[in-house]
Amino acid sequence: MRIIDGNAIAESIIEELANEVGQLSDTKPVVAFIRVGDDPASVSYVRKKQKIADRIGIESRLYVFPSNVCKEELFAQIDELNKDNEVNGILIQAPLPEHIDETETFNRVSHNKDVDGFHTLNIGKLCQEDESGFVACTPAGIVELIKRSEIETQGKHIVVLGRSQIVGKPAALLMVRKALPGNATVTLCHSRTQNLASITCQADVLIAAIGRPNFVTADMVKEGVCVIDVGINRVKDVSRKSGYKLVGDVDFNAVESKASQITPVPGGVGPMTVAMLMHNTLRAFKATKIRSFILMLLLSLRPN
Ligand code: GUN
């Protein structure tokens, strides 16, 4: 059994990005974070994202709103960031308070700055296998983990557990597309799936993103399975200063002996999400440069 070291793989990506950003001559990429409320997990995720951005040489700007912010105020901030030519990427940390519709909010972000890949247009491009769009960071991180760990996917049965917009659905789309890693036979399971274990037991690769601590047990997987655990669940642990520990959606101790490869929690998919956000931000920056260059060229060719 091999443990897939997400920290090490993310670190290589971060180094590659830092090298590339270091070679940029004039301006640097800028990413804006919007956080609504003080959910401790969101505070910690955004802080982590800012820290990594800083290491790469990407400037980050943070906008914090109280959890009772009205939609109009939040959208005015998004509109301003959409118009700001210095800002290349915008990320609105989920979850948002109940009174704010997440899909509407994500769609308010210009699709060119949607480094989260949550805009309807980018999701549509993913469905059409059009690689010009942004792919959501966690599913993109899963693909990169699979690629860099040389896990075979072509013709294999990949079972995705969880149908969220952020992870499950895009992960299933990525694994079924013709490009590699992908070209797999994909089954997308969820909380209402009947005879779940009979399906997960067929998986060559199991992607668990159901958001329930230790949900996948040893009897739910076959010998030799490759397990990608997307879950980051806080469970009570009085022995720790924080009062909690992080566990995945997979019962790691029970499943690891049956698996050929498995991601740990923490240190598996989590760091990859942040690395891919930075990758998307650099892509957004480069695309902006190309668009401005084309615009300048067109203006210079305009007859007086
Ligand atoms: N909350 C949990 N994961 C994510 C993510 O990838 N992007 C955003 N914006 N919010 C999240």
Residue 271, pLDDT score: 98
How many Cα atoms are found within 13 Å in the side-chain-facing hemisphere of 150?
Answer: 1
What value does the mean pLDDT take over residues 16-34? 96
26 — pLDDT class (breaks 50, 70, 90): confident
3-state secondary structure of 230: coil
What is the pLDDT at residue 78? 99
Active site (annotated) includes residue 241: no
pLDDT in tens, 137-183: 999 999 999 999 999 999 999 999 999 999 999 999 999 999 999 99
Residue 93 annotated in active site: yes
Confidence category of residue 291, pLDDT binned at 50, 70, 90:
very high
Identify the pLDDT of residue 194: 98
Please state the atom number of ligand 1 nearest to the C-alpha of residue 273.
6
63: three-class secondary structure by DSSP: strand
CA–CA distance, 233 with 254 (Å, rounded to integer): 17
Q: Which residues contact 77 (CB under 8 A, 6 or more apart)?
A: 34, 63, 65
Residue 49 annotated in active site = yes
Q: Are 232 and 252 a contacting pair, CB within 8 Å?
A: no
**Whose C-alpha lies nearest to ligand 1, atom 11?**
94
Residue 162: the pLDDT is 98
pLDDT of residue 245: 96
Residue with tokens 């995720």: 45
Binding pocket residue ranges, ligand 1, CB within 6 Å: 91-94, 116, 137-138, 166, 273
Give me the catalytic one of 50, 113, 114, 116.
Answer: 116
Crossing angle for the helix pair 6-22 and 40-56, to the nearest 10 degrees: 50
Ligand 1 center–CA 198 separation, angstroms: 31
pLDDT tens digits, 91-112: 999 999 999 999 999 999 999 9
Q: Reply yes or no on whether the pLDDT at 14 is more than 80.
A: yes
pTM, two decimal places = 0.96
267: left (phi over 0), alpha (psi -120 to 50) or beta: left
* Rg, C-alpha atoms of the chain: 20
pLDDT of 31: 98
What pLDDT is recorded for position 160? 98
CA dist., res. 158 & res. 188, Å (int) = 9
DSSP secondary structure, 148-205, as one string = HTT---TT-EEEEE---TTTHHHHHHHHHSSSSS---EEEEE-TT-TTHHHHHTT-SE
